[in-house]
Amino acid sequence: MTAHPPPPPGPPSDPPDQPDQPDQPDRPDRPSSSGSGSGPARPGPAVTDRLLAALAGILAGYGGLAVAALVAVLVRPEAGPVPAVGDAVVDRTPAAVKDWAIRTFGESDKAALETGILVMLALLAAGLGLLALRRRAAALTGVALLGALGALAAVTRPDSTSAADALPSLLGAATAAAVLYVLATRLTRPRPAVTTTAARSDRRGFLLAGAGVAVGATAATLAARGLGSTRSEHAAASRAALRLPRPASPAPAVPPGARLPVEGISSFVTPNKDFYRVDTALVVPRLDADTWRLRIHGTGVPEERSFTLPELMRREVVERDITLACVSNEVGGSLVGNARWLGVRLADLLRACGVRPPSEGGRADQLVARSVDGMTIGTPVEDVMDGRDALLAFGMNGEPLPFAHGFPVRMVVPGLYGYVSACKWLASLELTTFAAYDAYWVPRGWSARAPVKTQSRIDTPRPFARLTAGPRPVAVAGVAWAQHRGVSRVEVRVDDGPWQEAELGAEDSRDTWRQWVFRWPATPGRHVLTVRATDGAGAVQTGRRADVMPDGATGWHSVEVTVDAD
């Protein structure tokens, strides 16, 4: 578009002989100090035009995001502006806010974040649409800045390997700018034939163009979905086709006594659909098992090696029950689960690559696992190679790993919190040192080393339950865990009374949790029930309260209940 002469002062009805006269043009031919928009006597745009301008902004945003999504499917799904900015926000969110978000939104914290980003974008888009009525260049600059922000977020993600990650945001912003330009022009340029003040802008043209944009953006969104689902169908097909090998070393059967017949107690094995999920991924990576490879490299490896999934499965396969816990689990919290894992011993694989633990003179004391989404998780090499069942797992409770739990291969190390051991969507293992490298959570204030702390939880009765005193005692029951040390005793205290021994379910292995039950002859009134466990080495769970940061919560779990007389 060419430069416009300044608008004549006077009544808003533009003369029909000046068809190209914008109502509120940008005036690139004049310095911005004098180009402040409306002249002294000119009224602002009509309310309807302002609403339409906001709509123009939203349509521009919709079109831009649709094109960005389409390009992202072709480039890399995580490089789309919404996931990229979302991931960047997650990374920069202080731990306290993250904890709040997890508490408030639970497992839908990621959906809440995406909704928040979309609402913010819609408001911004409407604002830029309004701005475009008076200052088109400023509005277009705003769109360009948003595009640059998205591009910056995408290329600075740890999993970004190519400048192409900037493309979704850049092409999306170009689309949004074009749409905004076209629609805003319809609102600010009068049609030659129309002279009434009510129809100064080309509303019909606007609506036609707007409808075109909406249809086009919807088509692009559907195309993006279609392409995306083709890709994830490949992943899903590779998972469905996967035949899990029979373990050379099966897990011993869970002893019958491990499961206590108490209603409301956590099931001994946590079904996959109920297994807690903690990760930073806004888009769950869906990897194709057929093309997956694991790279093993670093100063501690004489020669870099790489393994496919069939190569792993041809090795000696073991099956083990292991309880996994998150360092962010509050006392009494639910971020812990027990599963039957199938995989290969990590120590065997590392030895086959020539790796030696520090105790045998090995150079590397830290194993850094990297996932395809850029997460890094650092584990002591000594722990992995000290004889415990540290696994590269591909099976979980009899099926291939679910996508959300790390398909096709993840790590599981008994006795260590997940953030220092349980990398999902594994891409590589690097043998390095703690001195040389800080994994993802360490600069964010979490400890580099974090063995699981002894914990116990009351599953039933629920907090503030109303119970009835009766001839039969109340079953107070739950689970206790101290992975790799084992649980040797659980005690329950009623109010300030003495600690009383609970009945323990049989031990499956010292890497799994144990169920426990205390038969309580409940008396009427309000009571506080408290539990504590003792680990296999005889250490009693501490009652001192500690926050989850930096290396796991401590303290006793208590539940208050009210008992009514029978």
Ligand X SMILES: Nc1nc2c(c(=O)[nH]1)N[C@H]1C(S)=C(S)[C@@H](COP(=O)(O)O)O[C@H]1N2
Minimum Å gap between C-beta 404 and Mo ion is 14
SS3 311: helix
Question: Closest approach of Cβ 6 to ligand X, in Å?
Answer: 57
What track of x and - describes contact with Mo ion for positions 535 through 564 (by CB under 5 A)?
------------------------------
Q: How far is residue 377's CA from residue 219's CA, in Å, rounded to a whole number? A: 40
Alpha-carbon span 528 to 522, nearest angstrom? 11
At 529, which helix (H) or strand (E)? strand 525-535
Helix (H, G, I), strand (E, B) or coil at 37: coil
Contact residue for ligand X among 85, 375, 480, 487 (CB under 6 A): 375
One character per residue 257-296, x = contact with Mo ion (rule: CB under 5 A)? ---------------------x------------------
- Between residue 301 and residue 360, which ones bind ligand X under the rule CB under 6 A? 324, 326
Tokens encoding 502:
């609970």
Residue with tokens 């996967």: 242
Written as six digits, the tokens of 224 are: 């993006």
Which partner from the list ligand X, Mo ion, none does 178 bind, CB cut-off 5 to 8 Å by kind?
none
Q: Name the residue with the smallest CB distance to Mo ion.
A: 326
The answer to whether the CB of 68 falls within 8 A of the CB of 172 is yes
Nearer to ligand X by Cβ, of 226 and 445: the residue is 445
- Fill in the amino acid letter for 53: A
Phi-psi region of 177 (alpha: psi -120 to 50; beta: other; left: phi over 0): alpha
The residues near 65 (Cβ < 8 Å, ≥ 6 apart) are 81, 82, 121, 172, 176, 217
* Residue 532 C-beta: closest distance to ligand X, Å: 23
Q: Using CB under 5 A, which of the segments 195-203, 319-327, 336-344, 365-373 binds Mo ion?
A: 319-327
User: Cβ 171 to ligand X, closest distance in Å?
Assistant: 29
What is d(CA 262, CA 130) in angstroms, rounded to the nearest whole number? 63
Q: Are 403 and 334 in contact (CB under 8 A)?
A: no
Q: Choose the one of Mo ion, ligand X, none that binds residue 424, judging by a C-beta under 5 to 8 angstroms depending on kind.
A: ligand X
Among residues 86, 210, 415, 418, the one that binds ligand X under rule CB under 6 A: 418
Residue number closest to ligand X, CB atom:
418
Task: Indicate which of Mo ion, ligand X, none lies near residue 499 (CB less than 5 to 8 Å, by partner kind).
Answer: none
Nearest to 2 by CA among 18, 36, 19, 26: 26
Segment 257 to 296, residues that bind ligand X, using CB under 6 A: 275-280
User: In Å, how far are 137, 454, 502, 517 from 459, measured between CA atoms?
Assistant: 61, 16, 14, 10
Give the shortest CB-402-to-ligand X separation in angstroms.
8
Q: Which residue number, 121 or 296, has a Cβ lying nearer to ligand X?
A: 296
- The residue among 181 and 276 lying less far from ligand X, judged by its C-beta, is 276
Residue 103 to residue 95: CA distance in whole angstroms = 12
Which of positions 409-448 make contact with Mo ion (CB under 5 A)?
Answer: 418-419
Distances (CA, A) of 525 to 296, 498, 506, 530: 61, 18, 33, 16
Residue 444 binds to ligand X (criterion: CB under 6 A) = no
Size of the site for ligand X (CB under 6 A): 18
Provide CB contacts within 8 A for 256, sequence distance 6+.
506
Q: How far is the CB of 277 from Mo ion (least distance, A)?
A: 10
Q: Which stretch binds ligand X (CB under 6 A): 181-189, 259-267, 344-352, 423-431?
A: 423-431
**Distant-in-sequence, close-in-space partners of 354: CB < 8 Å, separation ≥ 6:** 301, 302, 303
Residues in region 321-350 near Mo ion by CB under 5 A: 326
105 binds, among ligand X, Mo ion, none (CB under 5 to 8 A by kind): none
Pick from Mo ion, ligand X, none: which does 447 bind, CB < 5 to 8 A by kind? Answer: none
Where would I find the H helices in 16-80? 47-75
Q: How far is the CB of 445 from Mo ion (least distance, A)?
A: 14
Q: Under a CB-based contact definition with an 8 Å cutoff, are residues 231 and 286 in contact?
A: yes
Residue with Cβ nearer Mo ion (307 or 419): 419
Residue numbers 349-368 binding ligand X by CB under 6 A? none
CB 331 within 8 A of CB 455: yes
Instruction: Kindly list the residues in this chain that would bind Mo ion in the complex (CB under 5 A).
Output: 278, 326, 418-419
Instruction: Kindly list the residues in this chain that would bind ligand X in the complex (CB under 6 A).
Output: 275-280, 324, 326, 371, 373, 375, 405, 418-419, 422-425
